Amino acid sequence: MPENMIQADGLVKIYKSKQTEVLALQGLDLAVEEGELTALIGNSGSGKSTFLNMIGGLDRPSAGTLIVGGKNLFTMTEKELVVYKRDTVGFVWQNNGRNLLPYLSAIENIMLPMHLSDVKKKKEKATELLELVGMSSKKHSRLNTLSGGEQQRIAIAIALANSPKLLLADEPTGSVDPKTANYIFDIFTELNKSGQTILIVTHDVALSKKVKRVVAIRDGKISSERILKEKYADRLKEVTIDWRMEDTQEEYVIMDKAGRVQIPKELLGALELTDNKMKVELLDGKIVISKPKELE
């Protein structure tokens, strides 16, 4: 059985200021196995970016447990955290300005993080990564001569420069056209086939429907999960499928360790509740939630 690359248990993050206290994560539980390609979705303010930043070592948990690649991020020293960010995780940002230095060429940008590690034959590896992302012809190009999609492909190569155990991507297709978005996803798919663990934060409906596992965060907790249906698992490459229209995934509500579930708002709305009281009963092996008769 694959081991867990990410293990989060009861994860809490509180942001404090003099006047306010914001609870960004409220006891989040999530496990991601080695070799998984997982998408993380959620509305603005749901906590997904906070979670991604903590996995990337850019933020510290307030409480709970977060273990990535066998390393406990809650107990790391600052020195250990620097090594972790260099060797364990690679980050692809939506804003290409955070990935690329404009005064360096594409190949120089890719080689830069290698100087912080012990990578041998840096130029040779950078050339291989350029080929992987389909940018060999642009290796001497600078930032201002590349399109947004080309910059993002270089950014993926940079994130892979030190052979990270875990690749994190924050809205990697958010600022590119659909054709380029598909190309970028194909890169992630090929990387995943070779065993690379990848966690993507995305609002891209089409991309999320092509990922085998989609985890949704709401109010700082995991609320639901979608799993790619078996009949679609081997059809990721088919161009005839309209992923925005096809019902490719089974969706599940996630129960936390306290036995609590977050019921989707559209389902609660259909009950037309006037307060927070609901009737719960077991009928024919199914848990049924309904509006109490006295409230109908």
Domains defined along the chain, listed by start: 4-88+164-262 (3.40.50.300), 263-296 (no CATH)
Instruction: Enumerate residue ranges in the chain where pLDDT < 50.
Output: none
Smallest CA-to-CA distance from 134 within 104, 160, 156, 112 is with: 156
Instruction: Tell me the pTM.
Output: 0.85
d(Cα 111, Cα 129) in Å, to the nearest integer?
10
Q: Could you report the per-residue pLDDT of 22-47, keeping only the tens digit for each?
A: 888 988 999 999 999 999 998 888 88
Q: Could you report the per-residue pLDDT of 51-61, keeping only the tens digit for each?
A: 999 999 999 88
d(Cα 100, Cα 77) in Å, to the nearest integer?
28
Smallest CA-to-CA distance from 224 within 266, 188, 172, 192 is with: 266
Position 176 scores a pLDDT of 82
Position 269 scores a pLDDT of 82
Q: Tell me which long-range contacts 180-186 makes (C-beta under 8 A, separation of at least 24).
A: 180/148, 180/149, 180/152, 181/206, 181/207, 183/134, 183/149, 183/153, 184/149, 184/152, 184/153, 184/156, 185/210
d(Cα 182, Cα 287) in Å, to the nearest integer?
40
Structure-block tokens of residue 66: 């977060």
Could you write out the DSSP letters of every residue in the chain?
Answer: -PPEEEEEEEEEEEEE-SS-EEEEEEEEEEEEETT-EEEEE--TTSSHHHHHHHHTTSS--SEEEEEETTEETTT--HHHHHHHHHHTEEEE-SSGGGT--TTSBHHHHHHGGGGGTT-SSHHHHHHHHHHHTT-GGGTT-BGGGS-HHHHHHHHHHHHTTT--SEEEEESTTTTS-HHHHHHHHHHHHHHHHTT-EEEEE---HHHHHHSSEEEEEETTEEEEEEEE-GGGTT-TT-TT--TTTS--EEEEEPB-TTS-B---HHHHHHHT-SSS--EEEEETTEEEEE--GGG-
User: For residue 268, which phi and psi values (nearest 5 degrees)?
Assistant: -65, -40
Structure-block tokens of residue 232: 């679609």
Position 232 scores a pLDDT of 65
CA angle 30, 164, 182 (to 5 degrees): 75
Smallest CA-to-CA distance from 134 within 186, 169, 197 is with: 186
d(Cα 143, Cα 163) in Å, to the nearest integer?
23
CA dihedral in degrees (156, 162, 168, 174; nearest 10)? -20
Position 39 scores a pLDDT of 93
Q: Could you report the per-residue pLDDT of 223-266, keeping only the tens digit for each?
A: 889 887 766 666 655 666 565 566 777 888 888 777 888 887 77
Residues in the chain: 296
